[in-house]
A = this chain, B = another copy of it.
Amino acid sequence: MNDTIKTIMNRKSVRKFSPKSISKEDVKTILQAGMSGPSCVNSRCWSFVVVQDKDKLQKMADANVKYADPLRGAALGILVCSDLSRTEFFANAREFWVIDGAIAAQNMILAAESLGIGSCWLGTWPVEERVNNQTALFGLPEHIVPHSVIAFGYPAEDVPYGSRAGRPEWDEDRVHWEKW
């Protein structure tokens, strides 16, 4: 098993972080990974709000309403945004932006994991209340949709693989060979 596959397989959500901060260099590497995924007609229709200020992280957690506590102790929160002004060439399929934002976020999560930095994905879109709150908190322009918040930090304690309850390595019933 090569290192990339180990990173992918070992990733799990981390909800408790140590107080250790993340270096500017690592933050930039994580963001660059986010910019490196495919996007619909190469639109690169995302933007990232990068937050390390402790007070702002509390406000981001409040804005996401539920299940957002990991952000309170995080060293870094990134609000992945989708830029609808870059989706005009998607024709009748504007919602490809949802996919492009998810690709960017997962790339960032894996880059962080490979650097020993844990993360927890906090869903924002399509929960209207969370979308509205993050929009208000950051004063986002009308064409910007808050897609997801990712909390990052060094894990406070090792989260053993076995703790991924209900997450088997292989789900045979999800695989259909050649036909449904």
Contacts and interface: CB of A to CB of B under 8 A. Distances in A.
Interface of A: 1-5, 7-9, 11, 13, 28-29, 31-33, 35-38, 40, 42, 44, 46-53, 56, 92-96, 98-99, 101-103, 105-107, 109-111, 113-115, 121, 123, 125-128, 138-141, 144, 148, 165-171, 174-180
A130 to B, nearest CB: 9
Which 3 A-B residue pairs are closest in the complex by CB-CB distance? A4-B114, A102-B102, A3-B3
A174 B50 CA distance: 10
Contacts of A168: 35
B44 A167 contact: yes
A169 B32 contact: yes
Nearest to A37: B106
Nearest to A96: B123
A48 B176 contact: yes
A96 B126 contact: yes
Contacts of A140: 180
Contact of A5 (B33, B52, B99): B33
Given A3-B3, A110-B4, A148-B99, A174 B126 contact: no
A174 B44 contact: yes
Nearest to A176: B49
A110 B142 CA distance: 33
A25 B161 CA distance: 22
B42 A167 contact: yes
